[in-house]
Amino acid sequence: MGGYLRVGAVEMIWVLSALSVLVATEARGGREQWLHSKGEVSVGRHPDLVMDLPEQPNVSFRHYAGYVTVHERNGRALFYWFYEATTRPDDRPLVLWLNGGPGCSSVGYGATQEIGPFIVDSDGRHLNFNPFSWNREANMIFLESPVGVGFSYSNTTNDYKVLGDDFTANDTYTFLHKWFEKFPYYRNRSFYIAGESYAGKYVPELAELIYDMNKDPNLYIDLKGFLLGNPETSDAEDWRGLVDYAWSHAVVSDETHKLIRESCDFDSNDTWSNDGCTKGVDEVLKQYKKIDIYSLYTSLCISNSSAKSDDNMLRVMFKRSSTMMPRIMSGYDPCLDDYAHLYYNRPDVQKALHVSDGRQLRNWRICNDTIFADWAQSKASVLHIYKKLIVGGLRIWVYSGDTDGRVPVLSTRYSLNSLQLPITGGWRPWYHQKEVSGWVQEYEGLTFATFRGAGHAVPIFKPSSSLAFFASFLRGESPPSGR
């Protein structure tokens, strides 16, 4: 099942000789790679190796992009972008990053704006090197999931009509096993899942599926834990926190807050049948139209395309349903969205990423509004999964940028408090570069931390401290407690 291969003395001499050739072939954008397949070792180029990405900074690590088919009959394929760690990739864990929406791209957000090594420049043509990329600490996979997101697709129209949490978890699970067939060397690697926003649902759901399926040794994935930023967790607590945060940060009046507190039963499946509740929540959302809900204290992007995207988002925000909590499009929206759209729709970029031949292009969008509006199934809460996986011994860390109004720190605190976990480390500041980065509290089986002055997508605001926090998570060490 992958891993290191046993070879005899003669074979070892051949391998070492070939390795010396391999080391000598390092070049801009990629290197030759060992291919491990069915017990054989050879030196050659992986078909998904990215070699000529336009405007890519010069780097020494390898990266790969392409498709993994998760359903042959329906022609369902997910697009991934995988970056090896910048140093000692053989010794580093493997991390899967997921953004949410539902309907938003992990390539467009996570890889392009937050924690990937290449950040799209404001001209939409060039890539800048990110010195705080998380592949400094781990081998990183960014997945566009489910189908209909980014470059991922299905040849079966009906697939787009049944997208939901379980559908996404099952396809992502299938993706992992088929990805390991492409990269068998990573099959036995320590594995973590990370994400933000609506991935607060995706990540625990996938972790639970892996945990349950690991009972079959042939399907075993060495899952160690998961890391979540500003995550949607429990609809009722998320809405309570959103409302209370808006009031406590002077976004809405005392009267509006009182109306919501008196008329909204967020635990009910019939929340929005109450006219007073609907009126109060609509007032909160109306006020948030005037600023950036994802980052209260920064400017809005005023470009035409971003404004159009905001209008689409807000139409969905006001959509009411008697059977499901209304959802707000998850994802931070600075003008970087526009830059990414320009870059990923370039023919030469799509060809380099093995998306197209450079002639028949795919239309890439950072978020698919239709997926978001038509999402068929969403779990009201994943707190029961937290309880199950804490008992199972997984490492669970949750962090929250404290200037986010979309999934504010109060929502996360309300959700985690409802778990009633014993406290093992009291509330205290944590530090990075001699400054208070935020506050942290440790529970039995879970660590919660804040990032001071960060919005919804924390690494955009705090790239250096978020990398340090990620490194602490991987090591299983508490965030630094002193200067």
CA distance 423 to 410: 18
Residues 6+ apart with CB under 8 A from 46: 33, 35, 64, 182
Is position 268 annotated as part of the catalytic site? no
Task: Compute the distance between CA of residue 49 and CA of residue 56 in angstroms, rounded to an integer.
Answer: 14
Q: Is the link from the previous residue into 146 a cis peptide, with omega within 30 of 0?
A: yes
Please state, in angstroms and rounded to a whole number, the distance separating the CA atoms of residues 337 and 317: 20
Options 402, 404, 411, 432, the catalytic residue: 404
* Positions of E strands within 402-466: 423-432, 435-443, 446-451
Residue 274 to residues 9, 256, 278, 381, Cα–Cα distance (Å): 77, 15, 6, 22
How do strand 395-401 and strand 446-451 relate by DSSP bridges? parallel
Answer yes or no: are the C-beta atoms of 271 and 265 closer than 8 Å.
yes
Residue type, 361: L
The answer to whether 94 and 190 have CB atoms below 8 angstroms apart is yes
C-alpha Rg value of the chain to the nearest Å: 22
Residue 20, H or E segment: helix 9-23
Indicate which residue of 295, 456, 466, 472 is catalytic.
456
Element containing residue 109 per DSSP (H, E): none
For residue 91, the tally of other CB atoms under 10 A from its CB is 8
Spatial distance between the Cα atoms of 287 and 293, rounded to a whole number of angstroms: 9
Contacts (Cβ under 8 Å, ≥6 apart) of 468: 432, 437, 479, 480
User: Is 337 one of the annotated active-site residues of the chain?
Assistant: no
Amino acid at 202: Y
From CA 181, how far away is CA 189, in angstroms rounded? 14
Does the annotation mark 303 as catalytic? no
Q: Which residues, 6+ apart, have CB-to-CB distance to 86 below 8 Å?
A: 59, 60, 61, 117, 133, 135, 136
Residues known to be catalytic: 197, 404, 456
